[in-house]
Amino acid sequence: MTDLLLVPRRLAIQILHEAQIAQPAAMHGWVYERDGKPAVFRLAAADMGTHRADETLWARLWSKPTEPAVPAPAELREGLVNLLVSLNTKGVLEMRAWELVGGAAVERELRVED
């Protein structure tokens, strides 16, 4: 497990946009990686569990329109990065990464890269 998770800027923008337009409902989806890097976001309803042969599931993602981006351990899936977007901020969208480790929610450092 690396300490730092990198997400391409265009992917982060796509995720945050989908969270915004889903309001007031929560948005749910999946992030797939290609060549070891997060590359594709799909809404859960549209995904239906399908992906290309060159894609691997990297993260489960959802939004909390009115709560902070802090999950309860029961919300996390073990073995996956869990991305959580909060719209409960003033003028700034927040995306944080979490993993389930020994039954506890552990935050991972997430950085957007160009």
* Tens-digit pLDDT profile for residues 16-27: 999 999 999 999
pTM of the model: 0.86
* Tens-digit pLDDT profile for residues 71-107: 988 899 888 899 999 988 776 778 999 999 999 999 9
For the cut 70, the answer to whether the pLDDT of residue 7 exceeds it is yes
* CA angle, residues 102, 108, 112, in degrees to nearest 5: 155
Rounded to the nearest integer, the mean pLDDT of the chain is 88
Closest CA to 85 of 30, 36, 25, 15: 15
Helix and strand numbers (H, E) in the chain are 2, 7
Residue 74's contacts (CB-CB under 8 Å, 6 or more residues apart) are none
Q: Where are the beta strands (DSSP E) in the chain?
A: 4-8, 28-34, 37-43, 56-64, 81-86, 94-101, 104-113
Instruction: Take residue 60 and report the two structure tokens written for it.
Output: 């489960």
For the cut 50, the answer to whether the pLDDT of residue 1 exceeds it is no
Which architecture, in CATH terms, is 4-113?
Answer: 3-Layer(aba) Sandwich (3.40)
For the cut 80, the answer to whether the pLDDT of residue 12 exceeds it is yes
Tracing tokens 């799909």 back to the chain, one arrives at 42
